């Protein structure tokens, strides 16, 4: 037993077990070597006491096991060989006297074998740590780790390029029988044989939860987000500046309102508001006046407040890769990537101080507008006030922030034994009808709630109207349903391959494996002026979360930290979770495909490329291509 092994025995129980296993294996190997290198003594014969018959050697399949020796037949039996003869090859084998079964090394679990292959722990201390296909910064970028992630790595690589001032380490992929998957540079890591302390870095996202982080919504104007915890003197200056900014905002709003009133004086207001739910059709009994009409728009503003009952007591700029798809089949995606994904129209985040007076000595990192969202890392206190430290590292006063609840809507996992097609109601409360009067007329029998689904049997035409007949025998006007049914494979998808279809008119996303749908959910795509572009795409990159912010003429400034389960498919357009509204089935977004977080997570975990454990994002490439996405009118 080596000195290193003795040191291991004084560590954790898991390491002591591994050390004992290594020591036991060493002893067995030494015994085997000794048995093979030493000839056994010769046995004396009856006719020649001075001579000895050679002791039989073991069968060929037992030669390598020093614990087993051949058992000869009982002397005097019909099968007994002559005294000087060797035992037959089929003599049974039994443990040798010096082989104790308890000396055998314990069987190692897959986790312990992985720990032996990747013995080091790495904590990501930089903002991000890119993952490359080879130990070369010029090789294909596979994805990235985010600050706070703890991963297992192997021993450092002696050769490599581009890791200036550090070393390359192979990264363990525990999702695939603990194989190496990419290389990381140690310049953004802290590497040790024991897990490095992670007390001051943000906690990693929770991949097992519906939301990867805790989220809060700012409920007040000009909320200060600080770069460090303040002193009492700091707070006096920050609050004074906040009051000045609020007064300036109110004066600007009053001037804008007066100018608008003067411009509209004597003219009829021709502006139209957003279409109300089911406007133009009474609860869905009548067909839409235009069969090619746009989907119904939500009347509410972009971000709804979905808070909990009360506030609990505790709890890098850039853009994604820009790859324009071809007009035909989905393209092959070359190597591309960005260090930190921030979905932004342009420039710094809204509310970033531009003047020295607004920075208040550098302590103010951002002035949050009402309805901005933050991702919360932890709660702390300073100068008599409680703060939330965000995942980005800013400190926001907790009194201005309300926790958000999850939307209530949830899509449908389509089991293999479920009948098809399936209809989903995204707008209105359509009427159901039953045949009456000998089948010549239809009588209203009820309503279907919005965001419900029904199993459908067949289409039927009565006069000029088309109806779906449900499995329950109800008649429902066909335009009220978005339908999930079997579909022909699109170009670029192999038989059984995974692909996604989004219907803009029905506001329905359907996930397929081959021709059969396996999942369907109502979504919210881009509203007027922010239309989601139809076309054939592939997923370009996937991120557990990505910050989205910007300033638009229609809605003003918006900022959402760490939008969950984000999957980009075209420039800044993505499929992602939306926890700030529950209007799925109606257009509402700034161009992305909004899904209920639980639905977005299902698509995120199901689609390609896969995001390995411990990673924050992956980038599609020829090595790991993205799933096909079809956006159609």
Candidates 601, 563, 558; CA nearest to 579 is 563
Q: What would the mean pLDDT of 370-398 be, rounded to a whole number?
A: 97
| β-sheet bridge partners, residue 499 | 512, 628
Which residue matches tokens 């999850």? Answer: 406
Cα separation, 362 vs 555, whole angstroms: 29
594-615: per-residue pLDDT in tens?
999 999 999 999 999 999 999 9
Candidates 576, 588, 583, 621; CA nearest to 343 is 576
- Joined together, the tokens standing for residue 204 give 């990693």
Q: What is the pLDDT of residue 327?
A: 33
Rounded to two decimals, the pTM is 0.74
Looking at the chain, the whole-number percentage of residues with pLDDT higher than 70 is 70
Q: What is the pLDDT of residue 20?
A: 53
Q: What would the mean pLDDT of 408-434 be, rounded to a whole number?
A: 96
pLDDT greater at residue 357 or residue 288? 357
Which residue matches tokens 């990264």? Answer: 171
Using DSSP, state whether 146 is helix, strand or coil. Answer: strand
Element (H, E) at 115: helix 110-117
CB 367 within 8 A of CB 223: yes
CA 430 to chain centroid:
36
17-33: per-residue pLDDT in tens?
555 555 555 545 555 55
Q: What is the pLDDT of residue 559?
A: 94
Element (H, E) at 550: strand 541-552
CB 515 within 8 A of CB 486: yes
In the predicted model, what is the mean pLDDT of the chain?
Answer: 79
pLDDT over threshold 50, residue 291: no
Q: What would the mean pLDDT of 463-477 be, rounded to a whole number?
A: 95
Cα separation, 614 vs 185, whole angstroms: 15
Tell me which of 105-114, 327-336, 357-366 is least confident.
327-336
Q: What would the mean pLDDT of 301-327 be, rounded to a whole number?
A: 34
Confidence class for position 437, pLDDT limits 50, 70, 90:
confident
Q: What would the mean pLDDT of 68-85 be, rounded to a whole number?
A: 47
384 Cβ contact partners less than 8 Å away, ≥ 6 residues apart: 232
Confidence class for position 109, pLDDT limits 50, 70, 90:
confident
Q: What is the pLDDT of residue 149?
A: 96
| β-sheet bridge partners, residue 149 | none
Confidence class for position 65, pLDDT limits 50, 70, 90:
very low
Q: What is the pLDDT of residue 347?
A: 65
Q: What is the pLDDT of residue 99?
A: 53
Whether cis (ω within 30° of 0) applies to the bond prior to 609 is yes
Cα separation, 147 vs 333, whole angstroms: 27
pLDDT over threshold 80, residue 440: no
Confidence class for position 96, pLDDT limits 50, 70, 90:
low
Q: What is the pLDDT of residue 13?
A: 52
Confidence class for position 438, pLDDT limits 50, 70, 90:
confident
pLDDT greater at residue 103 or residue 118? 118
Cα separation, 545 vs 146, whole angstroms: 10
Confidence class for position 48, pLDDT limits 50, 70, 90:
very low
Within 10 angstroms of residue 192's Cβ, the number of other Cβ atoms is: 12
- Joined together, the tokens standing for residue 140 give 């294909």
Cα separation, 548 vs 580, whole angstroms: 13
Tell me which of 280-284, 338-342, 484-488, 615-619 is least confident.
280-284
CB 470 within 8 A of CB 433: no
| β-sheet bridge partners, residue 577 | 595
pLDDT over threshold 50, residue 353: yes
């Amino acid at each position: 037993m080596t000195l290193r092994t003795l040191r291991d025995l004084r560590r954790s129980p898991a390491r002591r077990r591994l050390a004992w296993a290594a020591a036991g294996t060493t002893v067995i190997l030494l015994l085997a070597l000794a048995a093979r290198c030493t000839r056994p003594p010769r046995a004396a014969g009856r006719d020649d006491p001075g001579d000895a018959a050679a002791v039989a050697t073991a069968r060929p399949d037992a030669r390598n096991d020093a614990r087993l020796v051949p058992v000869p037949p009982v002397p005097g039996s019909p099968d007994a060989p002559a005294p000087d003869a060797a035992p037959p090859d089929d003599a049974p084998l039994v443990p040798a006297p010096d082989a104790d079964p308890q000396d055998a090394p314990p069987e190692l679990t897959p986790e312990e074998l992985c720990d032996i292959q990747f013995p080091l722990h790495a904590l990501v201390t930089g903002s991000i740590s890119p993952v490359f296909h080879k130990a070369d910064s010029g090789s294909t970028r596979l994805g990235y780790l985010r600050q706070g992630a703890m991963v297992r790595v192997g021993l450092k690589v002696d050769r490599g390029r581009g890791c200036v001032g550090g070393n390359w380490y192979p990264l363990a992929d525990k999702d695939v029988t603990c194989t190496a998957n990419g290389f990381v540079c140690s310049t953004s890591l802290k590497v040790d044989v024991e897990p490095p302390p992670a007390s001051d870095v943000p906690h990693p996202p929770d991949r097992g939860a519906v939301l990867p982080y805790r989220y809060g919504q700012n409920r007040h104007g000009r909320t200060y987000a600080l770069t460090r915890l303040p002193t009492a003197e700091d707070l006096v200056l920050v609050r004074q500046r906040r009051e000045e900014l609020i007064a300036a905002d109110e004066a600007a709003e009053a001037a804008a309102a007066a100018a608008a009133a003067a411009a509209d004086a004597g003219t009829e207001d021709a502006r139209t508001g957003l279409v109300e739910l089911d406007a133009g059709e009474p609860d869905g009994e009548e067909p839409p006046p235009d069969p090619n009409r746009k989907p119904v728009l939500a009347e509410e503003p972009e971000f709804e407040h979905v808070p909990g009952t009360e506030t609990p007591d505790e709890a890098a700029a850039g853009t994604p890769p820009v790859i324009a798809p071809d007009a035909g089949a989905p393209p092959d995606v070359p190597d591309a990537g960005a260090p930190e994904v921030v979905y932004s129209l342009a420039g710094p985040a809204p509310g970033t101080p531009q003047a020295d007076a607004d920075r208040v000595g550098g302590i103010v990192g951002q002035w949050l507008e009402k309805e901005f969202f933050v991702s919360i890392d932890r709660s702390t206190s300073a100068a008599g006030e409680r703060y939330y430290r965000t995942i980005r590292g800013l400190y926001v006063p907790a009194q201005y922030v309300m926790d958000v609840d999850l939307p209530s809507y949830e899509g449908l996992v389509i089991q293999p034994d479920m009948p098809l097609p399936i209809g989903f109601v995204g707008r209105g409360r359509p009427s159901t009808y039953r045949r009456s009067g000998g089948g010549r007329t239809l009588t209203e029998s009820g309503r279907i709630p919005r965001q419900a689904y029904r199993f459908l049997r067949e289409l039927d035409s009565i006069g000029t109207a088309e109806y779906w007949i449900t499995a329950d025998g109800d008649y429902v006007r066909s335009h009220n349903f978005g339908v999930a049914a079997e579909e022909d494979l699109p170009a670029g998808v192999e038989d059984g391959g995974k692909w996604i279809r989004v219907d803009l008119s029905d506001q329905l996303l359907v996930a397929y494996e081959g021709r059969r749908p396996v999942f369907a959910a109502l979504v919210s795509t881009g509203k007027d002026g922010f239309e989601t572009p139809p076309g054939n795409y592939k997923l370009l990159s996937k991120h557990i979360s990505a910050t989205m912010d910007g300033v638009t003429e229609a809605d003003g400034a918006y900022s959402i930290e760490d939008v969950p389960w984000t999957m980009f498919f075209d420039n800044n357009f993505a499929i992602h979770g939306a926890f700030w509204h529950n209007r799925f089935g109606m257009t509402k977004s700034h161009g992305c495909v909004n899904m209920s977080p639980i639905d977005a997570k299902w698509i995120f975990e199901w689609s390609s490329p896969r995001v390995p454990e411990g990673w924050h994002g992956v980038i599609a490439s020829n090595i790991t291509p993205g799933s096909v996405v079809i956006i159609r009118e």
